[in-house]
Amino acid sequence: MNSIAPGWFPTEMTKQVMDEERKRLILNRMPMHAFGEAKDLGAMAAFLLSEHARYITGVDYAVDGGALAYGF
């Protein structure tokens, strides 16, 4: 079994607490300097369901624009 760990993605919930200053601080700590989009998670899910990933198991994939690499 594999899993997908999403990073920062805009949602109705995050819109309620995401002012411009907080957004700037978060994006500055991410190597890609961008929030994720639903298609980013979909692409990872499609890969994991494909034959290309047939021998991959027990992994948690961070789809986070590099946030973990920065040290969140």
pLDDT tens across 7-59, in order?
A: 999 999 988 889 999 999 999 999 999 999 999 999 999 999 999 999 999 99
Length in residues, the chain: 72
User: What's the number of CA atoms in the CB half-sphere (13 Å) around residue 33?
Assistant: 2
| Residue 62 structure tokens | 């961070």
pLDDT score for 72: 57
d(CA 2, CA 7): 16
H or E element: which one contains 6?
strand 3-6
Instruction: Count Cβ atoms within 10 A of the Cβ of residue 14 and give its class: 0-12 exposed, 13-18 middle, 19 or more buried.
Output: middle
Q: Which domains are assigned to the chain?
A: 3-70 (1.10.8)
